Structure 1
Amino acid sequence: MVRFIFRVLFAAVGLWLAARLVPGISADGWQTLIFAGLLLGLVNAVVRPVVVVLTFPITLLSLGLFLLVVNAAMLGLVAWFLDGLVVRGLVPGILGAIIVGVVSWAGQVMIGDGKSD
């Protein structure tokens, strides 16, 4: 449960950083960011695997680059559900997804995967 909370917090920090760095992404406040991090985790767990399977041929042809579009779409879906989060277009979505992914990855490295060696 603690790892899940940290993952949500790292996603929220990534969204905050994306809102600060990427023109075209904005968020109202920390409550929106925390809820967006929670919703992004849910969307990535439920919707993203289905989309990845359905878009596998184009992902294969693009050597995996289409996954950036998939991640941007997941971020856009979260923004569509939340009034306080705005993603204005594909390019801000892709840049925001990259930032959120890097911050989440760095957080995962810091807290570990929960498996003992």
Structure 2
Amino acid sequence: MINFIIKYLVLAIVIMFSTRYINGIFIDGFQTSFLVVLAMGFANTFVKPILKLISFPITILSLGLFLLVINVIVVYIVDYFIDGFSVRGFIPPLIFSLVLSITSTILGWFFDKD
């Protein structure tokens, strides 16, 4: 449980710093950043599989590139539900989701050792 908390706190810090360098993504503060991390985790667990299932034919036709669009849609869904988090454009949420995914993978190497 402590690894879960540390992992999400580190992800919130990474989001705070990454939004300073990604134009088009704005976060009010650390509390909002932590809420964004929790909402992204929830959306990736429950919403993203449904979107993948619905868009399966398009994903096959695009050779998997439509999954990038699904990542952007998930970021926009989180933007809709979290006050103090705003997203504009297509490229900034794409970069944001890639940074979050890479960071989460690296943290998983350290904290998910069972």
Same fold (TM over 0.5): yes
2:23 is paired with a residue of what secondary structure? coil
The answer to whether 1:45 aligns with 2:45 is: yes
Count of residues in Structure 1 that have an aligned counterpart in Structure 2: 114
Which is worse superposed, 34-43 or 3-12? Answer: 3-12
Query: Cα–Cα, structure 1 residues 88 and 106, in superposed 2: closer, same or farther, change >3 Å?
Result: same
- Tell me the residue number matched to 2:88: 88
Q: Structure 1 regions of 5+ residues with no counterpart?
A: none
Matches of 2:62 and 2:6, distance apart in 1: 33
Per the TM alignment, residue 97 of structure 1 is displaced from its structure 2 partner at its CA by: 0.8
TM-score (norm 1): 0.86
Q: Deviations over 1:43-88 (max 9, x none)?
A: 1111111001111111122222211111111111111111211111
Query: Cα–Cα, structure 1 residues 28 and 104, in superposed 2: closer, same or farther, change >3 Å?
Result: same
User: Is residue 36–residue 82 contact of structure 1 (8 Å, CA) maintained in 2?
Assistant: yes
User: Is residue 59–residue 67 contact of structure 1 (8 Å, CA) maintained in 2?
Assistant: yes
Q: Structure 2 regions of 5+ residues with no counterpart?
A: none
- Tell me the residue number matched to 1:36: 36
Matches of 2:14 and 2:73, distance apart in 1: 16
The one-letter amino acid paired with 1:15 is I
Between the aligned residues of both structures, percent identity stands at 36
Root mean square deviation, CA, Å: 1.6
User: 1:70-81, aligned counterparts within 5 Å?
Assistant: 70-81=70-81
